[in-house]
Amino acid sequence: MRVSTGRANQSDSRMFNVVVEGYGIGQQRQAERVFTVPFGQLQSTIQTIARQGGVITGVFAIDHASDGGAAAPAAAESVPASAHGQAAPGQASAESATTAPRPAVSHATSHAAVPVNTYKPKSPFVGTVTENYSLVGEGAIGRVNHITFDLAGGDPQLEYIEGQSIGIIPDGTDANGKPHKLRLYSIASTRHGDNMAGHTVSLCVRQLQYEKDGETINGVCSTFLCDIEPGAKVKITGPVGKEMLLPDDEEANVIMLATGTGIAPMRAYLRRMFEPAEREKNGWNFRGKAWLFMGAPKTPNLLYDADFEHYQSQFPDNFRYTKAISREQQNTRGGRMYIQDRVLEHADEIFAMIENPKTHVYMCGLKGMEPGIDEAMTTAAAAKGLNWSELRPALKKAERWHVETY
Ligand code: NAP
């Protein structure tokens, strides 16, 4: 277990992240989760988790200058809260408060200037919903919505950059009458927001639904968000996360592997790269190659598909979009087509890109895709005489392999 309580003492008012595996129910039980608690509740939280069969894999004091808060699970999983230092997404824009200094190289740069935990669970920012619309078409499986919040008027202003997450605290109380805990969502908008005004944030949320004892259970926060009306007030925390930040280099290559709502950060990257109003405002003239592998169960479940098709038609030399539609397409073994099958199909090109030190890989979505991607990369690497089990840690160390899954 990784434990970093730093200078904690009985009068300490800081918050802590407790990273847990195997806690919860059903699908969620598999995932790594992060609980943010004040120092005074640290011991009782650890005892409760242990009693309920959770395995605590890390405890980190949250330091405002480091990545912490309700850090996205995969960020906490891969990098101790105090040990970040990777690709800075900085740029020469007017919003210098959220901008990292321009690095000499495209990676291994301090993230000290990236905003984290501006608003904590005890005193969240209250944002206003400005829009909430469905992202899926007729015949899609389930509900996935795009929801935007106005962040104007915060003191301090809640600012974020592409690749970060925010926390949402749903209204109401849990079965014990306690206020609900926050849930983390990857941000789907750029720092300028969808309307370019610089004070909104957008999320891409699937309503969680599962069966228990013959009954359909709806996820508390995802249902709260999918049902919410414009004008509603919502408690927001964060931002958090430094695992999924874009490199600063305008000539970087970016390979994106997304399943379902794991597309959220990729949508922000692609807007930053190819959306005309965004390009004009951000002054970041992306000239590298971006390649998105998107996994969805059915065609109407492809999220932001028209935007990505448009970018591909407008920037054919810079953007490639490859889909794996699991319940409509088959892989070579006759099974469901997953993104790892697409990775295998294009193994040569992907490895040629990875050999270039300017190439970064981002993976976001279902944790279950990680072994499949690893397997595909192992096969593809072996075909080139390379050993993936050595290459992957080297890419991670060079801060070119970015994973956020749960
Ligand atoms: P979804 O619409 O159901 O799509 C997921 C796609 O991945 C489907 O095509 C699914 O295929 C496929 N898939 C299933 N198992 C797979 C595997 N082992 N390898 C590769 N592909 C696989 O997705 P969703 O419900 O939005 O789920 C997205 C997940 O991402 C959620 O668990 C969410 O919590 C997570 N997420 C994580 C982050 C983050 O870490 N920051 C952000 C957003 C979302 P079949 O269903 O047809 O088998």
Q: Among 67, 222, 243, 366, which residue has the most ligand 1 atoms within 8 Å of its CB, making it the best to mutate?
A: 366
CB atoms within 10 A of CB 238: 30
Q: What is the pLDDT of residues 202-218, one digit of tens each?
A: 999 999 999 999 999 99
Q: Given a cut of 70, is residue 8 above it in pLDDT?
A: no
Q: What is the pLDDT of residues 267-315, one digit of tens each?
A: 999 999 999 999 999 999 999 999 999 999 999 999 999 999 999 999 9
304 φψ region: left (φ > 0), alpha (ψ -120 to 50), beta (else): left
Nearest atom within ligand 1 for CA of residue 208: 25
CA distance 29 to 35: 14
Q: What is the pLDDT of residues 318-357, one digit of tens each?
A: 999 999 999 999 999 999 999 999 999 999 899 999 999 9
Computed on alpha carbons and rounded to an integer, the radius of gyration of the chain in Å comes to 20
Ligand 1 binding pocket includes 343 (Cβ within 6 Å):
no
Q: In the structure, what pLDDT confidence band is assigned to residue 47 with cuts at 50, 70 and 90?
A: low
Amino acid at 49: I
Domains (range + CATH), the chain: 253-405 (3.40.50.80)
User: 160, 185, 304, 362: which one is catalytic?
Assistant: 185
186 catalytic per annotation = yes
404 catalytic per annotation = yes
Contacts of 322 (CB under 8 A, 6+ apart): 291, 292, 293, 294, 342, 346
